[in-house]
Chains A and B, each alone.
Chain A
Amino acid sequence: MPAFRLLLLLAVSLGLSVFSTLRSQGLSWAFAPTSFGAPSGPQAVPKFDKIMEYASAAGTAHSAAIRPLDDGFSILWFDGTEEAHSDVVIKQSTFRLVDEKWVSSPPENLLVKEELAAQSVPKQSVWTLGNVITGADGNNTLFATIVSVGGWAAASITKVGMDGTQISDARKLSLSPMLNRSHLVRAPVVPYSDGTTAIPAYFEMGKAFAELIRLDDQGRVRDKRRITHGRLAIQPMIVPLDDHNAVALMRNFDKKSDRLVATWTADGGRNWTIPELLSDIPNPNAPVAALLLSDGQILMAFNDSATDASILKLALSKDQGKTWKRIKTLENGNGSARYPAMHRLPDGDILLTYSHGNKRGIRAFVFNEAWVFAQ
């Protein structure tokens, strides 16, 4: 091959690199603002209402997530004979405010594996569905954990574009060189100041670790950062505290210890501190949900036992998640109450949902900060 052909190929490669560089979106590493006003007006009156009590007819309902809508919200969960069974579907119940009360629609199927397989690019088999979270735009994007073969350790994350309740497109995120396997989602996405988002994801094969996946505005992966290394911790719940500081609270996946795992970033998620075990917060190998309150405290829903996931409590932290004060027991001994999810509604109320009765149903509450501060 003559040398000029080599030069031509190098020129083509260089041209493509320049093209890709010009095309690629520079990612901001500043979190989107998270400040809320202190409770006032109707929000100053403590409120705590149960809005959902669902029992699965199929047998299992688990891993609830919250999907904000323009005129309300949906609660999503996976539903089927049992976890990882081929009949699992993602169901949703939609809530709208009627006469100042949240009224729900009957549960309906949102994602079924056959439709997801048919809409995937490239077209591919889907065996079962798992944890689902919503994109920052809420209405239009879901990130679904899917399995085509094997168990959860062989799962992948698929970005699902939604047009109402119909799937408009679906594409796996490219996250691993090992046949793109073993990445899952659980906690809500983290919005950034440039309008892009990051997915708190985790790798479950072997050396399980948590990762922050940065997406561009087209939803393609453009970067990822390890949140943990050297400690088996998954299902990161990231709480941005200001532009660049955040805490990640993680399920302890290590049989040798039984405390909740935490790590902090001071540069928008690029680098994280060495993961620490929170000595006063036990963890029965279960994820937590958390969000920032108007006074800078963090509110967390968690299982307060090293072995018993039937105890679910709320706790507050004034020091960025280092120490916690228990304020309320939500569940105590009636079957496991796991996988909490929390979301702040536009009026400042807080929506909390979780599975209860050993993954047999979904329960949800709406409360406000005034109620939290009154505990």
Chain B
Amino acid sequence: MRNVGGAHRGLNMWLVQRASALIMALYLPGFLVYALVVGPLDFAAWHGLFVPLAVKVSSLLFIAALLVHAWIGLREIFIDYVHPMTIRLPLLFLFGTLYLGCLIWAADILWGVK
């Protein structure tokens, strides 16, 4: 049977983990500076941060990278500590579904900012 849950697809995952890390490493300091420049964040200012389309797009990209990164990281942990495939695969499915839902939710949150 094909090995569906093991550690033998390392290179692809390894590379995606670094690519997603890079996106986050660029976004986070950028957003921090952006927020600091805007100044004291009351509701109006905080809300206003997310109005520009470029901020919505880059924030959603960041969240997508975060979710992919989190899923691959959890997968690494499950490979080390959760050995029975009858538990590991449902866990991967559970978090994959949860995170996909989070991505759609995040899009709704961001595009809800008018």
B and A form one assembly: no
